[in-house]
Amino acid sequence: MTDTQTPTDVAAAANNKKSSWLERGVPGVKQQLTAPLTAVNTEPSTECPNCHTVTTNTALIFNCYVCPHCDHHLTMTARDRLQWFLDEVEGELGQQFSAKDPLQFVDSKPYPKRMAEAQDKTGESEALIVMHGKLRNLTVVACAFDFRFMGGSMGSVVGDRFVEAAEYALEHRVPLVCFAASGGARMQEGLLSLMQMARTASAVERLRLAGVPYLVVLTNPVYGGVTASLAMLGDIHLAEPKAMIGFAGKRVIEQTVREKLEEPFQRAEYLLDHGVVDEVVHRHQLIDTSYRLLAKLCQQPNIQA
């Protein structure tokens, strides 16, 4: 510090020396103030798996979890799905059932441990959630698979819950709706898991004999024992755009037939062309379409479908 400099001058000079020429600005030109760089957007966001654009979760929720950039239908959790679908939730069914481990099954980890991890991850007790409530003026029972829960696999509790949903629908003579998303049977339960195919199929048959409508919405993906039972036994099958639907996976079939299977093999649109699904419906129209179909099947007089 020289005799003519005050401590403030020295500090200012030091600061000036540290900052870059961009920050110092041009002498004689008024500097424009900009927002500090620390003000970053901290709102929770999700990357679209199709176009990799990042969208805030709020925007996604308002758009029914459809990517606003490429129209890709993102996975919805079972609870989100049912709360979105029903105008009013009156109650939840099948919560009294809990999984057992009769085979003492261990793969890379014991089955109970795997279940506990899935429960921690999803906050759900099983892979199928069942609710009853209102879809506009209709009372319906709706169930949805949660693919995050062990790949939406169908074990005995999933079977129990589905049968309970069907029995409730039968007793109250209200339609049953199922949003399917599953990798198939739960191998940790072996034969017990495979038996759920017969149980759920017979529950659907009881609905059919009583004339109670059963609507299936196939969401991405539906495979294995679920495709081979409850997901293909609806009075009407709707599917979300580009959902993968099949029994065996594409790679397994390719290895078996030794042939390359091109897109859109096993996509919803391909199955529509081949008569497996009745309509591919955009998620924005799914509630309207489901309501119109169910109302028609229930013969509501105030519908112009």
What residues are designated binding site for Zn(2+)? Answer: 48, 51, 67, 70
Q: Considering only 26-34, 64-72, 137-145, 191-199, which stretch makes contact with Zn ion by CB under 5 A?
A: 64-72
Token duo for residue 272 = 């529509």
Residue 244 is a binding residue for Zn ion (CB under 5 A): no
Q: Which is nearer to Zn ion, 14 or 51 (CB)?
A: 51
Residue 50 is a binding residue for Zn ion (CB under 5 A): yes
Write down how long the chain is: 305
Q: Exposure of 63 by Cβ count < 10 A (0-12 exposed, 13-18 middle, 19+ buried)?
A: middle
Q: Which is nearer to Zn ion, 14 or 70 (CB)?
A: 70
Q: Which is nearer to Zn ion, 52 or 113 (CB)?
A: 52
Residue 51 is a binding residue for Zn ion (CB under 5 A): yes
Q: Which of 10, 12, 61, 70 binds Zn ion (CB under 5 A)?
A: 70
CA distance readout (Å), 300 to 1, 20, 139, 148, 198: 91, 73, 12, 36, 32
Q: Considering only 42-50, 143-151, 176-184, 261-269, which stretch makes contact with Zn ion by CB under 5 A?
A: 42-50
Token duo for residue 47 = 């990357």
Q: Which is nearer to Zn ion, 50 or 289 (CB)?
A: 50
Q: Which is nearer to Zn ion, 176 or 268 (CB)?
A: 268
Residues 93/131, Cβ–Cβ less than 8 Å: yes
Q: Which of 281, 250, 285 is nearest to 268 (CA)?
A: 281
Q: Which is nearer to Zn ion, 49 or 123 (CB)?
A: 49
Name the CA radius of gyration of the chain, rounded: 27
Shortest approach of Zn ion to residue 222 CB, angstroms?
22
Q: Which is nearer to Zn ion, 206 or 242 (CB)?
A: 242
Instruction: Compute how many residues bind Zn ion; rule: CB under 5 A.
Output: 7
Residues 140/134, Cβ–Cβ less than 8 Å: yes
Q: Which residue has the tokens 């939840």?
A: 92
Binding mask 261-290 for Zn ion (x = CB under 5 A): ------------------------------
CB atoms within 10 A of CB 21: 7
Q: Considering only 46-54, 126-134, 179-187, 234-242, which stretch makes contact with Zn ion by CB under 5 A?
A: 46-54
Residue 72 is a binding residue for Zn ion (CB under 5 A): yes
Q: Considering only 58-66, 71-79, 104-112, 232-240, which stretch makes contact with Zn ion by CB under 5 A?
A: 71-79
* Residues 6+ away with beta carbon under 8 Å from 226: 145, 152, 154, 180, 182, 184, 185
Residue 242 is a binding residue for Zn ion (CB under 5 A): no
Binding residues: 48, 51, 67, 70
Q: Which of 9, 19, 69, 87 binds Zn ion (CB under 5 A)?
A: 69
CA distance readout (Å), 140 to 85, 290, 293, 302: 11, 11, 13, 17
Residues 54/104, Cβ–Cβ less than 8 Å: no
Chain residues binding Zn ion by CB under 5 A are 48, 50-51, 67, 69-70, 72
